[in-house]
Amino acid sequence: MIRNFLFHRVTPQKDLLWDPMRPELFEKVIRHITTKYSVVQFEEMMGSISLHSNKKAATIMFDDGYKDNIDFALPILQKYNVKASFYVVTDCISNNSPTWTHVLEYRFQNTQKKAIDLRFDFLPEELQVNTLNSNSEKLMYVSKLKPFLKKISSQNRKQVLDAVNYYFDDIKLPTLMMDWSDLRLLKEQGHFIGSHSQTHDMLGTIDDETIVFNDLKNSAEAIEKNLGHFPATISYPVGSYNEQVIRLSKKAGYKYGLAVKQTVFNSETDNFFEIPRIELYNESWFKTKLRISNKLETIKSLIHYR
């Protein structure tokens, strides 16, 4: 059984809506994992029967491609001699633009504007607003809007995001992403660079096969062009995939597909295009240890069962 541990941002910078992991917690996590498990690089492990049959194996993974992965996570990985996998959104890397999920929350947190017309009939009545007067209102609203946007079609989601970008246009978006030279540095140091799609759209919510396939193919081609290798792995953006996405991922040339499921990976029985990962957050050390050991999910299932 293999534990694939997933991280996103690692920085002391605070975020009220999606708090990055503190570097001191990240180091505590890496120190703990390297003590308890045999840490291997995921793609290297998958190419070796002896490695992925190791029942105490663990891997370290990052999604998105944030610059703080270089600034804060990399020195800690070097300290503990850990080789990780970084799955990047290629448009975000090329344009130094954050993912749509980050942009959405950033605009609501930083705009000074109050008027915004989101009276779309596909939104629940409570989310159909035309004004948000205070910062607390905006934060409360977007904390409800974001999870709902993950459930609807890509086309409807784009309408909402376009409206938010139009009405809350008074801020400059931060430049938070790595660039291709950063990724070349990571590769030179023995880390793997894989795909997290071209656009970070939720592929499982797109009906058009051509759009999904092009997103998968264009991301792989960008990595191959800039880094000199075809990425073996696709990490599904926002954990969104279905049978169509799996089929098109195979067609695009990927060997592995990564999901976000809070459980361990059995390389003998699990689908290689639905490989689970255990996502870790900026939480208490007690709760983080429960996640690492997978005991938190066991506790949750017992409570639900009762």
User: Tell me, what DSSP letter sits at residue 47?
Assistant: T
Phi, psi for residue 65 in degrees, rounded to 5? 105, 35
The model's pTM: 0.95
pLDDT value of position 290: 94
User: Tell me, what DSSP letter sits at residue 72?
Assistant: I
Q: What is the mean pLDDT of residues 269-279?
A: 97
Q: Containing H/E element for 211?
A: helix 209-227
Q: What is the mean pLDDT of residues 15-20?
A: 94
pLDDT in tens, 88-101: 999 999 999 999 99
Q: Containing H/E element for 215?
A: helix 209-227
Is the model's pLDDT at 274 over the cut of 80? yes
Q: What is the mean pLDDT of residues 152-174?
A: 97
pLDDT value of position 35: 96
Q: What is the mean pLDDT of residues 259-270?
A: 92
Q: What is the mean pLDDT of residues 92-120?
A: 97
Query: Do 217 and 210 touch, CB atoms closer than 8 A?
Result: no
Q: What is the mean pLDDT of residues 148-155?
A: 97
Confidence class of residue 305 from pLDDT cuts 50, 70 and 90?
very low
**How many angstroms separate the CA atoms of 213 and 259, rounded?**
18
pLDDT in tens, 181-221: 999 999 999 999 999 999 999 999 999 999 999 999 999 99
Comparing 14 with 55, the larger pLDDT belongs to 14
pLDDT value of position 103: 98
Is the model's pLDDT at 53 over the cut of 90? no
Confidence class of residue 51 from pLDDT cuts 50, 70 and 90?
low
